[in-house]
Amino acid sequence: METLPPILLLGAGRMGGAMLAGWRERGLASSFIVDPAPAAAALAGGAVQVVASAGDLPAEFNPAAVVLAVKPQQADAVMPDLRRFAQGGAVTLSIMAGRTIGGLQAVLGANAAVVRAMPNTPAAIRQGITVACPGPGMTPAQRDLCDGLLTSVGEVAWVDDEGLIDAVTAVSGGGPAYVFLLAELLERAAAEQGIPAPLARQLARVTVAGSGALLAASREDASALRIAVTSPAGTTERALAVLMADAAWPALVSRAIDAATRRSRELAG
């Protein structure tokens, strides 16, 4: 596998740091992180240097890609400094929620090559899923580079309809939080039934993790796996009658995803 070319990473938080770790595993040419947070300095070493602002970058640094991993609310402060890279041929890969390709090109230049993508936090263990949308004027080499950056942390799917990214943000971008909430609630409910706290936590975490692994390994639909666990007139059927009632999980999940999708669109500003 080829070594990745120089990269400029804006933002080294949880997701930016996870992506950086995946790139380092592939071999990364001399690259820079821009992040003023003191914790970011710990990511320096090897081919990677950390600076507090884009103004601190060496004049001769010429990245092949600029990755925007800052919060959408922080974008306006950092974007103007990146125009020179976009105009110099670097592809801009944005993983910011809500910020559109057109909005980024308005700052970087109409001819800037931009990819909008939404990964999720299992990228930290190289089991993420990212959906990416290429902007106009993207060269095959730029798309291949972005695909390589994203596949370093998990699976990648490409779409041509940018409007889908807002729903993707709601489903898979936020999806890990919904799964973690399920584990929280299972643990709490187990404790309410008298199961000791350590065992309640173990049951919840291993059940959620194991079920996810089974789903990943199976070719069956999720509904078929659910039915296989549900014995007629048994305990699981009784529980599902509560969870699948009209005003329960089916309606709540749809409302939650709709709310998150609308918020992603709002962030486009």
Separation between Cα atoms, residue 159 and residue 136, nearest integer Å: 13
Cα torsion at 90, 101, 21, 37 (round to 10°)? 90
The pLDDT value given to residue 2: 65
Question: Span 7-165: which CATH code?
Answer: 3.40.50.720
Q: What is the mean pLDDT of residues 200-204?
A: 98
Separation between Cα atoms, residue 225 and residue 240, nearest integer Å: 14
Confidence class of residue 172 from pLDDT cuts 50, 70 and 90? very high
The pLDDT value given to residue 80: 87
pLDDT exceeds 80 at position 268: no
The pLDDT value given to residue 267: 83
The pLDDT value given to residue 269: 62
Lowest mean pLDDT among 94-98, 167-171, 199-203: 94-98
Count the Cβ atoms, other than its own, within 10 Å of residue 88. 10
**DSSP characters for 144-187?**
HHHHHHHHTTEEEEE-S-TTHHHHHIIIIISHHHHHHHHHHHHH
The amino acid occupying position 227 is I
Confidence class of residue 28 from pLDDT cuts 50, 70 and 90? very high
Q: What is the mean pLDDT of residues 6-13?
A: 95
The domain ranges of the chain are 7-165, 175-266
User: pLDDT digits over 230-262, tens only?
Assistant: 999 999 999 999 999 999 999 999 999 999 999
Phi first, then psi, for residue 114 (nearest 5°) are -130, 135
CB–CB of 65/5 below 8 Å?
Answer: yes
The pLDDT value given to residue 221: 97
C-alpha closest to that of 167 among 230, 239, 256: 256
pLDDT exceeds 90 at position 71: no
Coil, strand or helix at 262: helix
Structure-token pair, residue 86: 């976009």
For domain 175-266, the CATH architecture is Orthogonal Bundle (1.10)
CB–CB of 15/97 below 8 Å?
Answer: no
Q: What is the mean pLDDT of residues 18-42?
A: 93
Q: What percent of the chain is predicted at pLDDT more than 90?
A: 90
Count the Cβ atoms, other than its own, within 10 Å of residue 71. 11
